[in-house]
Structure 1
C-alpha cells in the first residue's frame, strides 16, 4: 500500500471512496487531500502494482503540494473540513472509471491547478520537466518496471536535460517519500541530473555505480559474446578506477560522487569537501588524452593537492584575517566530457560537448546554492581550457575566477567577452610546453592583447612562507606537488588573487605591501 496524509475527516472520505471503488473494480490511484499536503496513494486496494492491473492505468497527480504554495492554491490553504479527496482512476484509454462526482482535474477547495495525469503510453512521449513531474508521481515498483521496459528514457533525458533551476524547483516540490522512491528506483537519473542536491546525487551515484559493476560482472561471466564480455571487462576496470578515486569512508576530506557514466570512454566527477556548504568551489577541468580508465585517480590526486593547498592558505591567512578562519573549500575533479585523442584533437566537437557539460555542472551548483552562492572558480588544462572558455563566453552565468594552463587557444578575443567577475582570468605557460602560444583554436589567452593576468609557473621561493617552489616543465607539469603553479591555482580558487605571482619584480613589492596592510 502507498501512504495517506490528512486528518480523520479526509480518511473517512478516502475510506468511502475505496468502498465505492472496490465494487467497480481495482483501485489504481488515489490522492488524499490533507490540510497541508496532497499525497499520491498507490496499490491501495489489492496490494498489486497498478501498472500490472489489466485495463487499468494509474493516474498520478500533484504530489506533496504544500499549503503555502500560492501558485497552486491561489494563496488559500485548503481546509481539512472542506477538502474532498479526488478519486482518480482511468482505463487503458485514459477515461475515468467510476463516478464520485469529482472532476478529473481535481478541483477542490483551495486547489486551483493540477498537473494532468497521463497514461503509461503517453509517458514515453514526454521529455524534460513534464517527464520528471510524471516520474515523480509513480510508486517505486511502477517506476522500476517502467524504466526497465524503457531503458533509453533516462539516458535521453540526461542528454537533453531541463535547466538546472527547473530541476531544483521540481525536486523541492516533491515530498520525502517521492524523492526516496526516485533515488532508489532511478539512481542513474537522480545521480546525474544537475540541480538535485549534491548529497542526494552522491548516494544515488554510489548505488548506480554498484549496480553498474554488478551488471557488468554478470555480463562478463555469462555472455556468449566475446565482444560483449570484453566490453564488460573494460567497463568493469573503469568503474573500479572510480571506486578507487572515491577512497574510503575514512578519507579526509570526505569524497563524493557527483556524476558517473560507465558508457564509452566514461564520465565522472569526484568532489573533495562538502559541496553544499563550501565557501569556495573549484572545478578542475582536464584536457586531451584524459580518460576515466586511465586518469580519474591521478586527476583526483591533483584535486586533492589543490584542496590541501587551499586549506593551508586559508589557515595562514586567518591568522591576520579572522573572517577567513571558518571558511571551507571544495574541489571537483571534474571529468564530465569525453576528451580528444590523436584522431580528433584538431576538432572543436568535443570542446563544444565539454562546454555544455561544464556549463550544466556550474549551473547545477548555482541552482542548488542560489540562496548561499559560493565563490566559484574554474581551473582548466589544455583542451579543457578551450571548452571552459566557450562555457564562460556563451552561457548566461558568471563565475568568480578562471585559470588557464597550457591552453591551445580561445574563440573569445579578450577577457572582456568572458563572464568572469572583476577580470579574474589568469594564464600559466610552462617551459617546454609546445601548446601555449599556438592559438590553434583562436586567439592566444596568454597574449597581451587578450588581457588576462600572467601566472608564474617557473618556480622560486615563496615570499610569504619561504617555501621553495618547484617549476612546471612541459605540457603536463602544472599540477606537481610543491610547485608554484599549484600554489597560484589554489590562491585563485580562494579569491586571494593579489597573492598570485606573475614572475616579475613586482611580486616582491606587491607581497610585502599585502603583508603590511
Structure 2
C-alpha cells in the first residue's frame, strides 16, 4: 500500500491560493482607488461647469458610484473567502502529514508467535488489517474534510451578490439606499472614501487643502452614515492620521470626537508648557524704558497659565472638548454624558464670547454645567462657540450692531445641530441663546438647524424677514431694564436685528426674576439730567443683561430652574 493510493492529495496549494488572493486584493484596491479618483474629479464638475445639460452629464457618471461600491465589496468578500480556504488547507496539511508518517512507519511488527495451528500468524494478520483500516478511515475522513473546505469556499463565493446594474439608472436599484442628496454631499463622500483608503491620508489632505472646505459643507447625516460603515481598524487609522479633521467633523459620533480632542489637547499642552518655560527663561528687563515689556510678559504668563490649567482639565477628563479649531476661533465644550441623557441643551453665548471666556475664573460654561448638575444624568449640555463673535473692544468695525456675525455663525451652528441630531436623534433639544446668540440661532433655522425649543435670553432677536419654525417651541425672557430693550427690533441692512424676540409669533414670555429698575434713580435722572445717574442706570441694565448667563442661583435662579424643569419634563416625555 502506498501513500499515492491511500492518502488524498490536497485540492489546492495553500501558498498559491494566498498569492492569488494577494494579487486579487491588490487589483481590487487599485480598482477602487482609481474609481474614487475618477468620481472625485467628476464630482467637481457641477462647481466648474454650468450648462443646460450639466445635471444630466454629471448624473451619468455619478450613478456608477453604488455599482463601484458593490464591485469593490464583492472583490473583498472573494478575498476573504479564499483566505479562509487557505487557512483550512493549512490545518488539513497537518492531519495529512500525520497519516503519511503513520503509513511510512509501516505496519506494526508481529507480536504473536506462530504455533502449529497458525494462530500467531492469524493474530498478526488481524493487527495489520486493523492498521490498514485505520489508515483508510483517516484518509477517507481527510478526503471528506477537503471536500467540505472546498464547498465552504464555493458557497462563500456564490453568496457574493451580483451587481445590481439597474442602479446605473437614476439610483433605481432598491439596494442603493444611501445615495447622497446633493452634488456637495457626493463630493464630500468621495473625499472621505478616498481618505479612508489612502495609505497616507494626512499627506493626501495636505496636498488638497480645498477638500477640508468641501467636507465642512457636507451634510452631517452623510458623514454619520460614512463613519458607521467604516471598519473599526480603518476608523482608528483615520483618527490617528487626521485628528484635527475628525475632532471637528460634524456627523462623527460624540464620544469619538471628545476622545480625539483629548489627544489633541495633550499635544497642545506640551507645547504650552514649553512656551511657558521659554518665557521664564527670558531675562527680566532692567531698564525702566522696558516697563511695557514687563507688563506684556506678565500678561502673557497669565494667559499661558489659564490656558495650561484649562487643557490640563481637558486631558484629565474634567472637561470635554466636542470641537476645537484655534485657527477659526471655535471651541465647543460638552458637559454630561450623552449615553445616559434624554435631553440636550445647547448654550449660545453672545457678545464678547471667545475661547478665553471658557478659561476664565467665571467661565461661560457655568450655565450649562449647572443644568447638567441638576439633571441627574438626564441632560447633556454644550456651550457653543463656532467662530468669532462681536467684541465691544472693537465696537466700530466688529461690534454687536453688525449682523454679519449672526449670518456667519448661523450656518455653522446649523451644522453643529445637524451633527448632534445625526448621531443622537433620540435627544429632546433646547437652544439657550443669550444676547447676540439669539441672532445666531435665528439664522441657523434658515439653514435647517432646528431644535425642539429655543429659549431667547435677553436676545437680539432675528434679521428680518423671519418666520419661526413650526416644530419649535419659543421662550423669551429679559429684565425690564435690559440694555437690549433700547434697540430691540431696530435694524437696516447690515446693521441691527429687525425682529424683536418678544414679537416672534407664539413666543412664551418667561419672568426673568431679575430686579426691577431703580425707580428713585430714574426719577432723579428725569429731574436733574445728571449724567452720573445715567451711568448707574446703564450699569444696572448691563448687569441684568449678563446675569442671564450666570450659573449662580442667587443671581439667575428663576431662569435656571425654568430651563431645568423644561429639560426634565420634555426629556422624560421623549
For the criterion TM > 0.5, the same-fold answer is: yes
State the partner residue of 1:171.
227
Cα deviations by residue, 1:246-280 (Å, 9 ceiling, x for unpaired): 736777xx64211001115x211111111244101
Q: Is the 8 A contact 1:216 1:235 kept in 2?
A: no
State the partner residue of 1:309.
374
Question: Could you list the runs of 5+ residues in structure 1 that have no partner in the other structure?
Answer: 1-7, 22-26, 32-39, 43-56, 63-68, 87-107, 115-125, 223-229, 312-326, 461-470, 500-517
Q: Is the 8 A contact 2:347 2:384 kept in 1?
A: yes
Distance 1:255 1:200 in 2: 15
Alignment partner for residue 162 of structure 1, among 200, 218, 225?
218
Alignment partner for residue 131 of structure 1, among 185, 191, 199?
191
Alignment partner for residue 375 of structure 1, among 428, 433, 442?
428
Residues 1:145 and 2:149 are matched in the alignment? no
Cα deviations by residue, 1:174-225 (Å, 9 ceiling, x for unpaired): 1001100011110011110000001100111122233345567778969xxx
Alignment partner for residue 460 of structure 2, among 408, 413, 436?
408
State the partner residue of 1:241.
307
Alignment partner for residue 479 of structure 1, among 532, 546, 549?
549
Residues 1:272 and 2:340 are matched in the alignment? no
Secondary structure of the equivalent of 2:441? helix
Residues 1:199 and 2:255 are matched in the alignment? yes
Distance 1:261 1:79 in 2: 37
Distance 1:58 1:236 in 2: 50
Structure 1 pair 454/136, CA: closer, same or farther in 2 (3 Å)? same
Residues 1:331 and 2:381 are matched in the alignment? yes
Secondary structure of the equivalent of 2:193? helix
State the partner residue of 1:180.
236
Distance 1:167 1:236 in 2: 40
Structure 1 pair 110/82, CA: closer, same or farther in 2 (3 Å)? farther
Structure 1 pair 432/148, CA: closer, same or farther in 2 (3 Å)? same
Secondary structure of the equivalent of 1:418? coil
Distance 2:308 2:272 in 1: 15
State the partner residue of 2:325.
261
Residues 1:110 and 2:157 are matched in the alignment? no
Structure 1 pair 174/485, CA: closer, same or farther in 2 (3 Å)? same
Distance 2:546 2:414 in 1: 24
How far residue 237 of structure 1 moved from its aligned partner, in angstroms, is 4.6
Residues 1:344 and 2:414 are matched in the alignment? no
Cα deviations by residue, 1:462-489 (Å, 9 ceiling, x for unpaired): xxxxxxxxx9942211133115745434
State the partner residue of 2:410.
355
- Relative to the length of structure 2, the TM-score reads 0.56
- The size of the alignment, in residue pairs, is 378
Structure 1 pair 338/279, CA: closer, same or farther in 2 (3 Å)? same
Distance 1:359 1:425 in 2: 17
Secondary structure of the equivalent of 1:458? coil
State the partner residue of 2:448.
396
Structure 1 pair 246/349, CA: closer, same or farther in 2 (3 Å)? farther
Larger helix percent: 2
State the partner residue of 2:566.
495
Q: Is the 8 A contact 1:433 1:474 kept in 2?
A: yes
Alignment partner for residue 428 of structure 1, among 473, 477, 489?
477
Structure 1 pair 70/143, CA: closer, same or farther in 2 (3 Å)? closer
State the partner residue of 1:15.
19
Cα deviations by residue, 1:385-422 (Å, 9 ceiling, x for unpaired): 11101212x133542111111222312567xx22263x
Residues 1:291 and 2:354 are matched in the alignment? yes
Secondary structure of the equivalent of 2:546? coil
Structure 1 pair 73/294, CA: closer, same or farther in 2 (3 Å)? closer
Cα deviations by residue, 1:328-348 (Å, 9 ceiling, x for unpaired): 111111112210122322222
Secondary structure of the equivalent of 2:370? helix
Secondary structure of the equivalent of 2:502? coil
Distance 1:168 1:236 in 2: 40
Structure 1 pair 259/332, CA: closer, same or farther in 2 (3 Å)? same
Secondary structure of the equivalent of 2:247? helix
- Relative to the length of structure 1, the TM-score reads 0.61
Does 1 or 2 have the higher relative contact order (CA < 8 Å, sep 6+)? Answer: 2
Distance 1:192 1:11 in 2: 45
Secondary structure of the equivalent of 1:268? strand
State the partner residue of 1:52.
none
Say which is worse superposed, 355-364 or 333-342, in terms of deviation: 333-342
Distance 1:247 1:208 in 2: 13
Q: Is the 8 A contact 1:212 1:262 kept in 2?
A: no
Structure 1 pair 11/339, CA: closer, same or farther in 2 (3 Å)? farther
Distance 1:426 1:214 in 2: 44
State the partner residue of 1:105.
none
Residues 1:385 and 2:438 are matched in the alignment? yes
Secondary structure of the equivalent of 2:429? strand
Instruction: Report 1:39-58 matches (<5 A).
Output: none
Question: Could you list the runs of 5+ residues in structure 2 that have no partner in the other structure?
Answer: 1-11, 38-65, 84-158, 166-185, 280-295, 491-496, 516-540
Q: Is the 8 A contact 1:278 1:329 kept in 2?
A: yes
Secondary structure of the equivalent of 1:378? strand
How far residue 302 of structure 1 moved from its aligned partner, in angstroms, is 2.6
How far residue 13 of structure 1 moved from its aligned partner, in angstroms, is 3.8
How far residue 431 of structure 1 moved from its aligned partner, in angstroms, is 4.2
Secondary structure of the equivalent of 2:347? strand
The alignment's C-alpha RMSD in Å is: 4.6
Larger strand percent: 1
Structure 1 pair 491/154, CA: closer, same or farther in 2 (3 Å)? farther
